[in-house]
C-alpha cells in the first residue's frame, strides 16, 4: 500500500526519494488528487505545526481517519479541539541535513493509532526503522522528546551554548529544569518517568550531536504548553522562567 505524504520539506522529500513507488508526495500546489486516487492509504502530514490548520482544511472529511501526524511538540490539545484525538501519531527519529539530502535514521520511529501498522510497514520496507507501540509507550516517548526539545532549546538560547556544552557544564541546572517539566508533563500525559535515568538519556543523545544548538521555537506547541499548564495548576517554573528572562 502506498503512503501519501503531504509536505515537501526535508522529511517529505526525503521519504519520496527513499522509495518513490511507496511514498507519494503532495505539496501546496500539486498532488492533491492523490487523496481521491488512493482511498484508504495513510496520509502522513509532514508539515510544520503552525501549518496544520490550513492543511487540515484541504483534507476531505472522509479522509481524516487516515491522517498520520508526525510533528514534534504537544499536539494533543489541538487534536482534541479539531475532533481528532484518536488520530494516528508518529515520532520520527530520522533527519535530513537539507531538502536534497538522504534521510538518516537515528533510531526506531514509534507509531500509535489506527493507521500505525500500515505506516510502519511502509517505513520498514523503505529501510526506515519503525514500530507500532501502545498508547502508554507512545506517550512516554512523546514526553521525553518534548522535554528534550524544550529544555535543551531553552538552555542553548539562554546560555549561548551547544547541547554538548550544556551536558558538560550545566548538568545541575539542566536537571532542575527537566524536573520542572517532568513534574507537569508526566501527570498531564499519565506517564511516569524517573528523573535521573531520563536526564541520562537526554544527555546521552545530546552528547551524540554535541555541536547542535537548539532554540526556543514553536512556542504554542513546546515551551508554551508547559507555561500554560503551570499557570492552570498554580505551579512554579522557577528555572524555566529564569532562563526565559536570560534570552537575548
What is the pLDDT confidence band of residue 29, given thresholds at 50, 70 and 90? confident
pLDDT at position 53: 96
- Looking at the structure, tell me whether residues 128 and 147 fall in a common domain: no
Which of 66-70, 106-110, 244-248 shows the highest mean pLDDT? 66-70
- Please indicate whether residue 1 or residue 228 has the higher confidence score (pLDDT): 228
Choose the final residue of a domain: 133, 164, 193.
133
125 and 204 belong to one structural domain: no
Q: How confident is the model over 97-137, as pLDDT tens digits?
A: 788 888 989 899 999 999 999 999 999 999 999 999 999 99
How many structural domains are present in the chain?
2
158 within 8 A of 174, measured Cβ to Cβ: no
Q: Which CATH number belongs to the domain containing residue 214 in this structure?
A: 1.10.1040.10
- Kindly state the average pLDDT of the residues 22-32: 92
Would you state the pLDDT for residue 34? 87
Contact (Cβ atoms closer than 8 angstroms) between residue 156 and residue 163: yes
Q: How is residue 90 written as a grid cell?
A: 508518529
Give CA–CA dist 89/116, Å, rounded: 8
Identify whether residues 60 and 117 lie together within a single domain.
Answer: yes
> 28 falls in which pLDDT band (50, 70, 90)?
confident
Q: How confident is the model at residue 23 (pLDDT cuts 50, 70, 90)?
A: very high
Instruction: Say which residues have a Cβ less than 8 Å from residue 64's Cβ, sequence separation at least 6.
Output: 56, 84, 87
The answer to whether residues 206 and 115 belong to one domain is no
Give per-residue pLDDT as tens, 197-219: 999 999 999 999 999 999 999 99
Q: Do 174 and 197 have their domain in common?
A: yes
Q: Which domain holds residue 193?
A: 136-246
Do 58 and 149 reside in the same domain of the chain?
no
For residues 27 and 148, membership in a common domain is answered with no
Looking at 99, 133, 167, the residue that finishes a domain is 133
The predicted model gives 12-27 an average pLDDT of: 94
**Is the pLDDT score of 248 beyond 80?**
no
- Whether 117 and 211 map to the same domain: the answer is no
pLDDT, average across residues 22-35: 91
CATH number of the domain enclosing 107: 3.40.50.720
Q: What is the pLDDT of residue 32?
A: 93
- 156-181 per-position pLDDT tens digit: 999 999 999 999 999 999 999 999 99
The CA distance from 136 to 150, in Å, is 21
Q: pLDDT, tens digit, for every residue of 34-53? A: 888 778 899 999 999 999 99
Task: Name the burial class of residue 81, with classes exposed (0-12), middle (13-18) and buried (19+) by CB atoms within 10 angstroms of its CB.
Answer: exposed
Same domain, 156 and 185: yes
What is residue 194's predicted lDDT score, i.e. its pLDDT?
98
pLDDT of residue 138: 98
Instruction: Return the pLDDT at 106.
Output: 87
Do residues 14 and 129 share a domain?
A: yes
User: Is residue 147 domain-shared with residue 62, that is, in the same domain?
Assistant: no
Residues 164 and 209 in one domain: yes
Distances (CA, A) of 121 to 3, 116, 152, 198: 10, 9, 32, 29
Amino acid at each position: 500500500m502506498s503512503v501519501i505524504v503531504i509536505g515537501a520539506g526535508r522529511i517529505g522529500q526525503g521519504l519520496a526519494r527513499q522509495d518513490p513507488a511507496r511514498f507519494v508526495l503532495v505539496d501546496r500546489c500539486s498532488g492533491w488528487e492523490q487523496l481521491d486516487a488512493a482511498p484508504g492509504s495513510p496520509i502522513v502530514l509532514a508539515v510544520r505545526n503552525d501549518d496544520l490548520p490550513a492543511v487540515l482544511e484541504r483534507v476531505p472529511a472522509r479522509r481524516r481517519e487516515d491522517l498520520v501526524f508526525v510533528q514534534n511538540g504537544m499536539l494533543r490539545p489541538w487534536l482534541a479541539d479539531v475532533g481528532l484525538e484518536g488520530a494516528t501519531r508518529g515520532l520520527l527519529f530520522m533527519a535530513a541535513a537539507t531538502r536534497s539530502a538522504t534521510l538518516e535514521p537515528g533510531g526506531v520511529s514509534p507509531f500509535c493509532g489506527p493507521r500505525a501498522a500500515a505506516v510502519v510497514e511502509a517505513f520498514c520496507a523503505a529501510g526506515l526503522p519503525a514500530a507500532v507501540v501502545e498508547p502508554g509507550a507512545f506517550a512516554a516517548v512523546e514526553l521525553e522528546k518534548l522535554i528534550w526539545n524544550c529544555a535543551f532549546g531553552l538552555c542553548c538560547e539562554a546560555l549561548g551554548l551547544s547541547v554538548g556544552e550544556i551536558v558538560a557544564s550545566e548538568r545541575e541546572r539542566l536537571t532542575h529544569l527537566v524536573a520542572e517539566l517532568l513534574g507537569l508533563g508526566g501527570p498531564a500525559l499519565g506517564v511516569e518517568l524517573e528523573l535521573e535515568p531520563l536526564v541520562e538519556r537526554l544527555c546521552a543523545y545530546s552528547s551524540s550531536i554535541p555541536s547542535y544548538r537548539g532554540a526556543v521555537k514553536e512556542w504554542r506547541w513546546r515551551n508554551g504548553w508547559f507555561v500554560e499548564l503551570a499557570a492552570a495548576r498554580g505551579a512554579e517554573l522557577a528555572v524555566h522562567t529564569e532562563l526565559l528572562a536570560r534570552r537575548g
